[in-house]
Structure 1
Amino acid sequence: MELRHLRYFVAVADERNFTRAAARLGIGQPPLSQQIRDLERELGVTLFLRRPQGAELTPAGIVFLSEARSVLETAQRARMNAVLAQQGQIGRLRLGYASSVALHPLVSDTIRRFRRLWPDVVLQIDEGNSRELIGRLHEDRADAVFIRPGPADPHETRLLRLSGEPMRAVLPAGHPLVRGADSRDSIPLALLAKEPFVLFERAVGLSLFDAILSACREAGFEPTVVQEAPQISSVVNLVAAGLGVSVVPESITQLHLAGVVYRPIRPPAPLASLGLAAAAGKSSVIVDNLFGLMERESRAGALPPS
């Protein structure tokens, strides 16, 4: 039994006439009658009573009609879904992001834009550090991830590098560099040379850690790290507790925590890298759509308001 047999049967059942059904299907009446006889022979039942004025469904035909319609509807839905899946209109996107990029407007705007353009794609979003996220890509536990990439591209990874994000100093509210200063005033990084630093663990934010360390060295000092934090958001909490100063990506300044003040760093200020990564060589239209969206928006310079 093939789908065409079901289509032929449904047409005859709808028309109650072999001649009209044949015209509707665009085939001859004798071949249609033969196809229905073949179907009845295969099923071992009589589907129609042939009358001079047309065709009448038997009790077996009435039951079979309901099932035939259901099968045809399922087949049509499967065909349509296959086309949509090939276009990336439906499916699943397992998206990860490093904790330090969670507040970056480009990341949140891109996710919002993606959901609007492809509303039927199911988004599964998870957080981790950049090293963990790259591992998830290669273990097929993530499809695409926003990370803080280092100078070299991760092995066997497709990487779209985005514009670097300026970094800012974060100081306790009572710090001498804060008192009487305008929040827009930039400070030389060298002024923090003798300050205790609070930083996240290098394994958590490899590229950020190295960028901060390199900037401090270029400013003529080696930072004294007195406290490590498990993630970048914890850094701000520890600075608020008075444990030291730190340097964080500009987007982190959206954390309006009592007891801390953010200051721009006078050039040359360190930059926090940002990139979108996926496993190299893995074909996914949904991931391609995400990368295409990011490429268009990064060329435009910024995502316009949604």
Structure 2
Amino acid sequence: MQKAVREEPAPSDLRVGVQAGPELTFRKLKAFWAVAQSQSLTGAAKLLGITQPSLSQQIIGLEQSLGYPLFVRRSNRMILTEAGVLMLRKAEPVLRGMQDLEDTLAAYGSGQRHPLRLAGVESLLRTILPEALRHMDLDGTAECDLLEGAPADVLEMLYSRQADIGLLAANSISEASTGFLQIPIMADPTVLAVPESLDLGCVARIEDLAPEAQAILGASIQIAFGTQHSRRIESWFSDMLPQNRMTARVRSFETALSMVRAGLGICIVPALSVGPSPGVRLYHAGLEPRRIVALIQPAQHRTGRHAAVVAALQAAGSAMRLPPIEPLPALLSRP
């Protein structure tokens, strides 16, 4: 006699409330969301402030209670299954609603709203934000909490609700992994910065430069801002200045520019990072500009003070004055 085979329901038939019952807690839902966003147990555990074994147990327990695998484990990555994608789509509105409720109750209990928390990379907080803050009207309260960090830090603060709005370059993050609206603020040209005394527009060949100028052009200071960014810059130097060698790797545009001003080499930076200080000469590099965006939760996009901040950032972006930038020198043009 042939044994009956139990047919598994399709992921589209996943009914979380019925199958999970009391096992589907807010804590487990938040753990699932953190792993889905970070795509790793290590990153999600850091985001939630718990140990990795504890987080792994929560995810395994959630999958067992649902009866479906939510993730495919690949090396150190956690990839959502079809059921996981459906779960994430249903979970995000629940988590947003709970967070909004917690914020509302906290504000009611304290008698005041929390300051508007804005996270961003240093070069943008230093340039765009001061102009934006001058024009903000936050319903009678202009109190802001400014949080500085690298792009990955800004995303982490947004995911964990430590920040309400993020200000960074869209080019520096994976567009598919944010889960936030990306509102354009401005385009910031990518430029080659050289010492002010090094005029590349007056010569046709590198060999025509003085030996000390050739030495400066042959040394580069590069910024370590992630693999994708590093590869783009390395490719640029390989194409434009094949004899160039990296002499220093730094963690900020400001440090790189200070080394250029000292005559220690050249660097590729966004124009806004240069600021008003003299000492460098800028040339268009022929690379994609830094696309500056404000990241915000979709539900907050049109709410009072969040909308006011985004509008002020856009106005500041439109009013930004870039430093003088000269055309790409002929000696660097591709044949």
Q: How high is the TM-score relative to the length of structure 2?
A: 0.49
In 1, are the aligned partners of 2:181 and 2:298 still within 8 Å (CA)? Answer: yes
Alignment of 1:110-125 (within 5 A): 110-114=132-136, 116=137, 118-125=139-146
**Structure 1 residues 292, 90: closer, same or farther in 2, change over 3 A?**
farther
Out of 291, 295, 306, the position equivalent to 1:273 is 291
Residue of structure 1 in register with 2:68 after alignment:
none
User: In 1, distance between residues paired with 2:287 and 2:161?
Assistant: 37
User: In 2, distance between residues paired with 1:256 and 1:92?
Assistant: 32
**Structure 1 residues 210, 280: closer, same or farther in 2, change over 3 A?**
farther
Alignment of 1:203-282 (within 5 A): 203=226, 209=230, 212-213=233-234, 215-216=236-237, 219=240, 221=242, 224-256=245-277, 260-265=279-284, 268-281=286-299
Out of 184, 197, 202, the position equivalent to 1:161 is 184
Alignment of 1:1-306 (within 5 A): 91-104=114-127, 106-114=128-136, 116=137, 118-150=139-171, 152-153=174-175, 154-175=177-198, 177=200, 195-203=218-226, 209=230, 212-213=233-234, 215-216=236-237, 219=240, 221=242, 224-256=245-277, 260-265=279-284, 268-281=286-299, 285-294=304-313, 297=315, 302-303=318-319
> What's the offset of the Cα at 1:192?
10
Amino acid at match of 1:289: A
In 1, are the aligned partners of 2:187 and 2:289 still within 8 Å (CA)? Answer: yes
Comparing 271-280 and 210-219, the one that deviates more: 210-219
> What's the offset of the Cα at 1:279?
3.8
**Structure 1 residues 119, 213: closer, same or farther in 2, change over 3 A?**
farther
User: In 1, distance between residues paired with 2:296 and 2:231?
Assistant: 23
Cα shift readout 1:66-93 (whole Å, capped 9, x = no counterpart) = xxxxxxxxxxxxxxx98xx9xxx96521
**Structure 1 residues 240, 141: closer, same or farther in 2, change over 3 A?**
same
User: In 2, distance between residues paired with 1:273 and 1:141?
Assistant: 24
Q: How high is the TM-score relative to the length of structure 1?
A: 0.53
User: In 1, distance between residues paired with 2:201 and 2:241?
Assistant: 22
> What's the offset of the Cα at 1:226?
2.0
Larger radius of gyration: 1
Structure 2: give runs of 5+ residues left out of the alignment: 1-106, 204-213, 322-335
Instruction: Please state which structure has a larger fraction of its residues in helix.
Output: 2
In 1, are the aligned partners of 2:133 and 2:312 still within 8 Å (CA)? Answer: no
**Structure 1 residues 117, 207: closer, same or farther in 2, change over 3 A?**
farther
Structure 1: give runs of 5+ residues left out of the alignment: 1-80, 181-190
User: In 1, distance between residues paired with 2:159 and 2:139?
Assistant: 25
Instruction: Please state which structure has a larger fraction of its residues in strand.
Output: 1
> What's the offset of the Cα at 1:215?
4.5
Residue of structure 1 in register with 2:94 after alignment:
none
Amino acid at match of 1:275: V
User: In 2, distance between residues paired with 1:218 and 1:281?
Assistant: 45
